[in-house]
Structure 1
Amino acid sequence: MRSTGRCLLRSWMRALRQVTFAGIVGAALASGQASAAFSDENDIDVRASKEGDVIVVDVDLAVRASRDEVWNVLTDYDHMAEFVANLESSAVISRTDNALDVIQKGKARYGLLSFPFESVRHVVLTPSREIHSKIVSGDMAGSEITTRVASDGAMTQVSVRSQFVPTIWIPPIIGPQAIASETRKQWFTLREEVLRRRALVAEPIPAAR
């Protein structure tokens, strides 16, 4: 019984690592939270469910910034390791017009446990409106994520639809709840980076004395 329990726990942790990693930034826990936050993650709507062999994650959030400001962060793959805490490297390795391949490496952490990861994703951009990403190698190869960005007055609405097919078992109830929690942290991190950059631009430069 103990051996079976340990095997299930290891399988569950690998699955959580895979699905969290496969999200819009490859893997993202909260970064830069030692300083005061610009927003609160509780208004980020995340719904995760297991439908047969597929894990479906939907995200909706609002950002008090322009669509271009949001877009610039979501597509800043070459600098993503600078503001996503557990990314060691992120780089565009090929690009043709609005299609690009991105490689990311890092380490996902869950309490005392940590897991290295690496993936290559093919990304197709519809400028300032939609990002379609498919993982072509590494964890969760074949998974697809579509992110849509739309202006709404002074706000920008972001909607994300992710579909994953895990290669190992995920608990039907606890699994989606944990995935939703980690996904919310990912998007809180990205929104904080948008707002941080916006605040830097908005701050007036002191006059020389």
Structure 2
Amino acid sequence: MIALVRLFACFLLVFASPARPAEPEMKVAVAQSGGTFVVDADIDFPYPVRTVWDVLTDFDNMAGVVSNLRSSRISRRKGNTVVVQQEGTARFGLISYSFLSERKVRMEPMKRIVVRQISGQAKRFESEADLAETNHGTSIHYHAEIEPDSLLARLFGAIFIQHEVEEQFHALAGEMEKRQRL
């Protein structure tokens, strides 16, 4: 009888629990240099480079993926370069920060995404994401330099930025998992 109960419990654990997306392996470091925050992150996604690329460059649907975005849309396109406008609110505990940004995004398909802010709440925002196919999926090295324009952002900058980067890449991983299942 005990063996039957254990077998039934194992069955419930395997088949009744909701599927959880595979978590990316992530190392995020944020350092401050003067008024600029420098982000270096290495993320390993257990998904093919095509899936990772499709999610990272789906700017028109990004507001449905990243919870801090209210809107995201491509306003101009020329070859592998687009201008993306985004609006949202970043939250960390009791702190929230509304933002509106326009960014020029240059894409080297399946390899690199380079972003430079044209306008927005930060004094400066530049980032680069380099993608590499691995035996277990896709590896990304992400580098960003952010110079916030508000005292609040400068005071809580490093921990706030690290939280935002981690949260966004986890949300993107969830979308990758969803698309991979389809």
**Residues in 1 aligned to 2:180 and 2:55: alpha-carbon distance in whole angstroms:** 11
Query: CA-to-partner distance for each residue in 1:95-152, whole Å, 9 max, x for gaps?
Result: 0000110011122233345443211000100111000001111111431000111101
Greater per-residue strand proportion: 2
The one-character-per-residue Cα deviations of 1:4-52 (angstroms, maximum 9, x if unpaired) are xxxxxxxxxxxxxxxxxxxxxxxxxxxxxxx7531336x3100000012
Alpha-carbon distance, 1:185 to partner:
1.3
Number of the residue aligned with 1:106: 88
Q: Between the two proteins, what is the percent identity of the paired residues?
A: 31
1:65 CA drift (Å):
1.0
- Where does residue 67 of structure 1 map in the other structure? 49
Is the Cα contact below 8 Å between 2:113 and 2:128 reproduced in 1? Answer: yes
The change in CA–CA distance for 1:115 and 1:179 in structure 2 (over 3 A counts) is closer
1:16 paired residue number: none
The partner residue of 1:40 within 23, 37, 48 is 23
SS in 1 for 2:124: coil
Deviation at 1:158, TM superposition (A): 0.8
**Post-superposition offset of 1:87:** 1.4
- Structure 1 range deviating more: 71-80 or 178-187: 178-187
Q: Given the alignment, which residue of 158, 161, 165 partners 1:179?
A: 161
TM-score, normalisation: structure 2: 0.81
Distance (Å, rounded) in 1 between the aligned partners of 2:120 and 2:44: 31
TM-score for both structures, normalised by structure 1: 0.72
Partner of 2:4: none
Aligned partners of 2:162 and 2:143: how far apart in 1? 13
CA shift for structure 1 position 88: 1.4
State how far apart, in whole Å, the 2-side matches of 1:73 and 1:118 are.
21
**CA distance in structure 1 between the partners assigned to 2:149 and 2:98 by the alignment:** 17
The correspondence for 1:88, drawn from 49, 67, 70, is 70
Query: Counterparts of 1:175 and 1:138 in 2: how far apart (Å)?
Result: 17
Which residue type is aligned with residue 187 of structure 1?
F
Structure of greater Rg: 2
- RMSD (Å) for aligned C-alpha atoms: 1.9
**Structure 2 contact 132–139 (Cα < 8 Å) conserved:** yes
